[in-house]
Amino acid sequence: MTLQSHARFITIEGGEGAGKSTVLAALREFLLARGFEVVSTREPGGTPLAEQIRSLLLDTHHEPPAVETELLLVFAARAQHVREVIVPALQRGAWVISDRFTDSSYAYQGAGRGLDAGFIADLERRVVGIEPGITLLLDIGVAHGRERARGRDLAPGASGPDRIEREHDHFFERVRDGFLARAQAEPRRFRIIDATQSAEAVAAQALSHLRALADT
């Protein structure tokens, strides 16, 4: 089974603190202003059940999952998200913008944790079945991204770093390399954006890619 690509399905990927949420808000505003229905969502999560799985994945107080458990949990959440939210929205003609999707599993569980990419691809085909028309990869050095995320995590009311955010820099270097390798392997789908620029410059670049899509 090959993956079905959807032109109105946009994903935003990148490491910690890359600015994905910030870009998502800008894309959403642009599409809403043009009168489109927009579903903005995130992974892991996006449905009540998938959000519960997210809590299990990121929780720091309980037994840490084995790497295989971690992979299967992200795909369990994704199976629910695809069926309950993403596919129904695409079928009624809405745009869907997701903060992370399957590329994150290749980067974190594949490149980061060392799980076999063939196994992930098999799950992707059997459990997910779809892929975005365009993926914006916000690329930033690990130290720079972590510094931004730390600033946010230390703000009053913030809950502090989650289980994955507590990993070492080496892990995040492998994740970054994993994302860049995927972008290199699929240049038609990926657009790499230098996320070290100002938030305004990053949003402007993301919008220029979206404009090219939305106007066709």
User: Residue 148 interacts with ligand Z5A (CB under 6 A)?
Assistant: yes
Dihedral, CA of residue 131, residue 126, residue 106 and residue 30, to nearest 10? 20
For the chain, the residue count is: 216
- Residue nearest to ligand Z5A according to CB distances in the complex: 19
Decide whether 94 or 163 has the Cβ nearer to ligand Z5A. Answer: 163
CA distance 11 to 39: 12
Site for ligand Z5A in 157-216 (CB under 6 A): 164-165, 198-199, 202
Site for ligand Z5A in 79-98 (CB under 6 A): none
* Binding residue for ligand Z5A, selected from 149, 181, 207, 214, defined by CB under 6 A: 149
Sequential DSSP letters for 15-61: STTS-HHHHHHHHHHHHHHTT--EEEEESS-SSHHHHHHHHHHH-SS
Contact between 14 and 179 under an 8 Å Cβ cutoff? The reply is yes
Contact between 93 and 37 under an 8 Å Cβ cutoff? The reply is yes
Provide, rounded to whole angstroms, the least separation between the CB of residue 215 and ligand Z5A.
25
Residue 185: C-alpha distances to residues 112, 151, 178, 179 (Å): 18, 33, 11, 10
User: Residue 19 interacts with ligand Z5A (CB under 6 A)?
Assistant: yes
* Binding residue for ligand Z5A, selected from 34, 152, 170, 211, defined by CB under 6 A: 152
* Binding residue for ligand Z5A, selected from 74, 96, 111, 137, defined by CB under 6 A: 74
Instruction: Count interface residues toward ligand Z5A (CB under 6 A).
Output: 26
- Site residues (vs ligand Z5A, CB under 6 A): 14, 16-22, 43-44, 74, 99-100, 104-105, 108-109, 148-149, 151-152, 164-165, 198-199, 202
